[in-house]
Amino acid sequence: MSVHISSVIWKVVMPNAGRKLVAVALADMANDDGSCWPSLRTLSARCNLSEDSIRNHLHALEAIGILKASPRFQDGRQTSNVYCFAPDVVTGKALHLERGRVEPAPPLENREGGRKPEGEGGKKQEGGGYEKLPPHEPSYRTIIEPSIPPAEPSLKLEGEKSKPLLTPEQIEVGSWFSRRPTTAWSAKELNKWGEIPKPIDSEDWQALKWYYTRSGCKYLRKDIYTLLNNWSGEIDRAKNYDPNEK
């Protein structure tokens, strides 16, 4: 556990409570270099969220630059990912999100309209030096930004309706049924996908992929939900199918 990174993550302003919860859980398990490698099941238990929700939050945290995920392998098989916090998070420079990505908090003297508090000098005067501020005057004044339409944020605020992010495995399963990667899955499809044990065995996955893309079998399931509902049985059929038998 890295107390330093945990304290930094608590100060990072994020537009989504779920993202913050997952980031705090990762920080709680990270070493001083900002790295950790928990499984989805571990994160799900710690955050009291489904594995699909954890996966979506991890993708979002990676997209906005909070962390980077890299696969881990053991004996030729992928295990859990390694999650590494961004350098600005590890050093404590990242204090807020700017339009969906991590931005270091600007120094006081570089903030538009910012003035140093009394004792450190106020408004800089001609000829050098700072004007002293009265004790009752606040150290910062309100800045009215010009009315420029804000850029489209990359993350939607919590409470807004948004499509769940699909994993690479979900996108590939969808391609077996000619479904576009941008097409959202239905609630019942997502629920069935969540019931499938993760991580999926690589041998089972390759057998199922071959069965649905290259075997030429005429008796495949007609839609994603039916496949997910008969997942184990389809894997057995894929492994036992012989394309040479009539």
Domain at 3-91, CATH from 3.50.50.60, 3.40.50.300, 3.40.50.720, 1.10.10.10: 1.10.10.10
Helix or strand or coil: residue 226?
Answer: helix
In the DSSP assignment, the letter for residue 166 is: P
* Strands 94-98 and 101-104, bridge-based pairing: antiparallel
Average pLDDT over residues 190-219: 92
Average pLDDT over residues 179-201: 91
**CA–CA separation, 204 vs 39, rounded Å?**
20
pLDDT digits (tens, 9 = 90+) for 16-45: 788 889 989 998 888 888 889 999 999 999
Predicted pLDDT of residue 147: 52
Predicted pLDDT of residue 246: 55
* pTM confidence score: 0.39
As a whole-number percent, the residues of the chain with pLDDT over 90 amount to 36
Token pair recorded at residue 168: 């690479």
**CA–CA separation, 171 vs 175, rounded Å?**
6
Residue keyed to tokens 């050098």: 128
Phi, psi for residue 237 in degrees, rounded to 5: -65, -40
Token pair recorded at residue 96: 């807020």
pLDDT above 50 (res 175): yes
Phi, psi for residue 179 in degrees, rounded to 5: -95, 135
Predicted pLDDT of residue 111: 45
Predicted pLDDT of residue 195: 93
- The more confidently predicted of residues 1 and 222 is 222
**CA–CA separation, 213 vs 206, rounded Å?**
10
Asked if the bond preceding 199 is cis, omega within 30° of 0, the reply is: yes
* Strands 35-36 and 77-85, bridge-based pairing: antiparallel
Query: How many Cβ atoms sit within 10 Å of the Cβ of residue 128?
Result: 6
- The more confidently predicted of residues 225 and 140 is 225
Helix or strand or coil: residue 72?
Answer: strand
Residue keyed to tokens 């040479």: 244
- Domains of the chain by residue range: 3-91, 168-240
- The more confidently predicted of residues 184 and 65 is 184
Residues 88, 32 contacting (CB under 8 angstroms): no
Average pLDDT over residues 86-104: 60
Predicted pLDDT of residue 173: 94
Predicted pLDDT of residue 141: 44
pLDDT digits (tens, 9 = 90+) for 47-83: 999 999 999 989 988 888 888 888 888 777 877 789 9
Predicted pLDDT of residue 191: 92
Phi, psi for residue 139 in degrees, rounded to 5: -70, -25
SS3 labels along 2-66: CHHHHHHHHHCCCCCHHHHHHHHHHHHHCCCCCEECCCHHHHHHHHCCCHHHHHHHHHHHHHCCC
**CA–CA separation, 117 vs 138, rounded Å?**
8
- The more confidently predicted of residues 205 and 135 is 205
